[in-house]
Amino acid sequence: MDNGVPMKYSRLTAMAIAFAITFTASAQPASPASGPQPSAPSGLLHQLNDSFAAVFEKVAPSVVVIEASQSTPKPIPGLPQGLEFFLGDSEGRGTHSQPSIGSGFIIRPDGYILTNYHVVGDSDEISVKLHDGRRFSAGVVGLDERSDLAVIKIEAAGLPAAELGDSEAIKVGQFAFAIGTPMELPYTFTVGVVSAKGRKLAASRNYEDFIQTDAAINPGNSGGPLCDIDGRVVGINALVSGVNRGLGFAIPINLAKNVAEQLVSSGHVRRPWLGVEIAGIEESQRLQQLYPEVSRGVVVTGIEPAM
């Protein structure tokens, strides 16, 4: 340490320098140009620097800060937690609001905003603050707990909508950028890479196809966009393992597009339903014993009544 400044480069800076030097070595001209020239690595780093800044400048105007509140009965001092539920509001205690802060992004210029279900799902009041400082009350258009997605709407027009990309086209190792409100710090911009695709997580019961990234994601990033180097949204930041451990997870935008379209058009999501319960033979020793002649496949273990 020297004057409080770390002597080692950050991981991202070191990676960028290595990239610049490697690229320069492979593209070095046969004879140096006459006269003083700026060093090629420095030039490439400035290009990379400008590219990162351009992503934020493109995406940030479409990102919003969401403040959601839920009214709960005021606790009675000294009363065991949970007991006040049975008392209702007969004591004139009133209610108090429990606010939470998350993120979202505009998907249509007429005020439609995409975010996570867990950001707004149980809220009584929703307030949205835009990048330009304006604040609006928002209403819920549709909720889908299964995919952890929600669409809300504010009464405004001519808003900057985010450009949606193709999550199937992203590659592990490419740059990834997250924008959101972690720890109540709005428009925080973090950089990393796509660490993995198609992640299955025990913490998520309903949906298992997450994009993993090491771009720093913390509580409050939920609902914000995960973008590629061109400023296109490829995912919706939804989960984090611990706090800033380089293990963030986003819902692919291709899934979110389909869900959002259905929520806007009808307020809910329709999914195919067979009405049967199945189990894989390969995953059950009991089924393997019952059907020794069958090595692969599934067995219908139950039939649900018609909905």
Catalytic residue set: 118, 148, 222
212, two tokens: 């993993």
Cα distances (angstroms) measured from residue 276 to each of 52, 190, 194, 303: 49, 44, 37, 4
Contact 190, 216 (CB under 8 A): yes
CB atoms within 10 A of CB 232: 20
130, two tokens: 């835009």
225, two tokens: 């966009």
Contact 116, 148 (CB under 8 A): yes
- 3 state SS for 244-286: CCCCEEEEEHHHHHHHHHHHHHHCCCCCCCCCEEEEEHHHCHH
The total number of residues written for the chain in this structure? 307
Name the 3-class secondary structure at 296: coil
Nearest in space to 300 (alpha carbons), one of 281, 284, 279: 279
Within a 13 Å sphere around the CA of 165, how many CA atoms are in the beta-carbon half?
A: 21
Amino acid at 287: L
DSSP string, 162-183: PPB--TTT--TTSEEEEEE-GG
Contact 165, 232 (CB under 8 A): yes
